[in-house]
Amino acid sequence: MGVPMTAYAGRWTISAAALAVVAAIAAAREQQGAAPASPRDAGSDVTAAGGSSPKWVRIVESDEGVLRLALAARTYEPVDAASNSPEITLVSVMHIGDRAYYRRLQKVLDDHDLVLYEAVAPPGLGAESVDADDATAMAERTRARMRLLAAGIESEKRHEGAYPASLAALGESVHTSRRLARWLNAAGVDAWGRSFVYVRSEDGAGFELKSLGADGREGGEGAGADIDWSSEEPLTPQDLAIVSAEDEEHQIQAKLARAFDLAFQLDEIDYERDNWRNSDMGVDELMRRLEASGADGGVMLDLLSGSSFPARVASMVLSLVEMIPGAAPRGKLMLIELLGSSDDLLAATGPMAEAEALMKVIVDDRNQVVIDDLRKVLDSGEMDRSGSGAPRKRVAVFYGAGHMPDLADRLEEELGFRDKGAKWYSAIRLDLAEEGIGESEVLMVRGMVRRQLEMMKTMSDGE
């Protein structure tokens, strides 16, 4: 989900939503003849915790009983009107939603001159920069990319019985998701920007993989020495999990979308644009930050490997949901209510030390990558308008809604921007009357979400 959009929060939200849906459906079966729900402040915002109108996620219900979960795209302009800097739009998103929602977002994003997007990349592919004069750091990044390629190559052999004919063929494999293909293609060059040398044996049973080092020539010493896969440590389960988890994560998210008659973001949004840039940490940097903060990095590894309890429960429960008549619309109702309470959901984690450490890395530290990238864009002038009378260029930050409050604060406090206004986009639409969902059923689900949030808050207060 986009609240925040990470393996950790995304998988937790999937599990919570799926489990709650089963409970809601069990009770809802007794409510089939109930009257349709009445409007909730028809057409108005839902009041967030503290009595203020939500800025990023809201629930709107029309007089006709159509319920919508809406997410904001909020634009910021330079406080200094004479500045030639671009406008910056924070486009919030969630992992699953109506197919029409992603089509609208694609048009919105394509109307910008530059898009910085969220994607925790595998080791060696994060947005954090490496000093080209630091031979050790350059070699480490090269080795990280080589390990990703080797994991992808081994995964292909498991599917096909032989290694791929070329690195290009690996990226084009039918077993490779669009995002994994993008990663493998990006990993196909070493830290010095040169393609890895890959040779498959004639019988397809073995392969060679190496970088020619800083000098780009065979052999060499020091920084110019070749980096050969045959001399590296064997792949670990964690290395293989980076590749397999991408497919497993895609399967769970796609299964959730299918169960609730929705679409999956990574299947609908086209990231292959020349003006789109990844603005996020690599998973290696993320793990280093988590370990340094005292948070349990093992939780993240379990999530990446698909061995975590939430991942297994989500898969099992979603299989049940797909089999229950009327589950899809009621699943949508639960998702709308759960995600529409995202502010309360985050607040319910309370002051637990590990939760604070985890969220600091997952949200705050990753947001710093975005702010650093924006500062580079502003300092370089690459997105400056041609003159004071010309229209401003437009930069979009495409991230989960959970990241947006902090990003907005930093835009205003650190970069000198101010809120210009927002446009709202309906992520999930549900016609209550058409689906036969009565008022008592809606109230039951809302009460269930509220009770769960209160329970979480009580538990965190007791820590």
Q: What is the pLDDT of residue 328?
A: 77
DSSP states of 106-160 as a string?
HHHHHTSSEEEE---BPTT-SS----TT-HHHHHHHHHHHHHHHHHHHHHHHHHH
Confidence of residue 462 (pLDDT cuts 50, 70, 90): low
Q: 21-25, 315-319, 326-330, 424-428: which has the minimum mean pLDDT?
A: 21-25
What number is the average pLDDT over the span 180-189?
89
Q: Is the pLDDT of residue 215 over 80?
A: yes
Closest CA to 335 of 38, 19, 108: 19
What number is the average pLDDT over the span 104-128?
91
Residue scoring higher pLDDT (112 or 244):
112
Amino acid at 417: F
What number is the average pLDDT over the span 98-113?
97
Confidence of residue 301 (pLDDT cuts 50, 70, 90): low
Residue 114 contacts residue 377 (beta carbons within 8 Å)? yes
Residue scoring higher pLDDT (391 or 31):
391
What number is the average pLDDT over the span 284-309?
65
Q: Write out the two tokens for 178.
A: 């669009």
Q: Is the pLDDT of residue 59 over 60?
A: yes
Residue scoring higher pLDDT (401 or 347):
401
What number is the average pLDDT over the span 192-204?
93
Produce one character per residue of 133-151: b if its CB has 16 or more CB atoms within 10 Å, e if not.
Answer: eebeebbbbbbbbbbbbbb
Q: Write out the two tokens for 201.
A: 């044996």
Q: What is the pLDDT of residue 176?
A: 67
Q: Is the peptide bond before 351 cis (omega within 30 degrees of 0)?
A: no
Q: Which residues contact 69 (CB under 8 A, 6 or more apart)?
A: 57, 58, 59, 97, 335, 336, 339, 340, 426, 427, 428
Q: What is the pLDDT of residue 159?
A: 85
Q: Is the pLDDT of residue 45 over 90?
A: no
Placement of tokens 């739009």 in the chain: 89
Q: Write out the two tokens for 402.
A: 């959970």
Q: What is the pLDDT of residue 119?
A: 87
Residue scoring higher pLDDT (131 or 461):
131
Q: Is the pLDDT of residue 293 over 90?
A: no
Q: Is the pLDDT of residue 114 over 60?
A: yes
Q: Is the pLDDT of residue 424 over 50?
A: yes
Q: Is the pLDDT of residue 51 over 60?
A: no
In angstroms, the CA 245 to CA 279 distance is: 21
In angstroms, the CA 377 to CA 373 distance is: 6
What number is the average pLDDT over the span 284-293?
82
Residue scoring higher pLDDT (77 or 335):
77
Strand order in the sheet with 207-211: 197-200, 207-211, 227-228
Closest CA to 55 of 33, 34, 37, 70: 70
In angstroms, the CA 325 to CA 322 distance is: 8
Confidence of residue 457 (pLDDT cuts 50, 70, 90): low
Residue 23 contacts residue 321 (beta carbons within 8 Å)? no
Confidence of residue 323 (pLDDT cuts 50, 70, 90): low
**What number of other Cβ atoms are within 10 A of residue 430's Cβ?**
24
What number is the average pLDDT over the span 23-36?
38
Confidence of residue 455 (pLDDT cuts 50, 70, 90): confident
Return the sign of the alpha-carbon dihedral for residues 98, 363, 249, 21: negative
Confidence of residue 248 (pLDDT cuts 50, 70, 90): low
Q: Phi/psi class of residue 61: alpha, beta or left (left: φ > 0; alpha: ψ in -120 to 50)?
A: beta
Residue pLDDT, tens place only, 168-178:
998 887 566 77
DSSP conformational letter for 390: S
What number is the average pLDDT over the span 24-39?
39
Domain boundaries, the chain: 7-119+241-461, 135-235
- Phi and psi of 189, rounded to 5°? -120, 145
pTM: 0.79
Q: 88-92, 211-215, 305-309, 446-450: which has the minimum mean pLDDT?
A: 305-309
